[in-house]
Amino acid sequence: MTTRSRTRSIAALVFLGFVLSGCAPDDSAMASCDQLIPREIVADVLGSQDGKLVQLQTEERSPVSPLVNKMTTDGIACGGSDDGAEILGGAVMIGQLPMDELQWMTIQADFADGGHPATDGFGIPGWVDVPKDEDDLAGGPGFAWKEGVLYYAMSPLMLGLAPVFEP
């Protein structure tokens, strides 16, 4: 059995254990949308004094990964709002999902098998770039994991604004 197969098998057993025991990764490390990135920075990014991140309740129509919609249902998915109006059609701009390290290792291996290896690019340790457009060299959407939370962002630069990823 290869190391990768062994890691996946262990992760599958751990995940099955969570399901059977009723336990789940701790979600206390997740921040609310208004805590995730400072409001004044969000307003600058969105180009509006009234711009803010709000928690989304509906799934995206075409996410880069099913994990993005899982953040909407089982985690915290934040989208942009300007004076109550959705920005980008309600797309998830940044999100969080409680996840233990073994689950992340399995998902990371699946991404790597699909041609999206983890890097420390863009200043985000373990960043996995999963652009919709394979020609996007500017750093499209992706995922990173830290301290029991899987993070998604439309851009690694956005995730870099979150205090949890500040150096």
**For 87-125, how does the pLDDT look when each residue is reduced to its tens digit (9 = 90+)?**
777 888 999 999 999 999 999 999 999 888 998 877 899
DSSP, res 60: -
pLDDT band at 2 (very low <50, low <70, confident <90, very high): very low
CA distance 22 to 87: 37
Nearest to 99 by CA among 167, 9, 7, 14: 14
pLDDT of residue 34: 87
pLDDT over 70 percentage in the chain: 78
SS3 99: coil
Break the chain into its structural domains and give their ranges.
3-165
pLDDT of residue 9: 40
| 97 neighbors 149 (Cβ within 8 angstroms) | yes
Alpha-carbon distance values, 103 to 15, 89, 117, 130 (Å): 7, 30, 16, 18
Look at residue 148 and tell me whether its pLDDT is greater than 80. Answer: yes
pLDDT of residue 26: 55
Overall pTM surpassing 0.85 (yes/no): no
Alpha-carbon distance values, 50 to 22, 32, 83, 127, 152 (Å): 41, 18, 5, 30, 23
CA distance 40 to 62: 29
Higher pLDDT, 145 or 167: 145
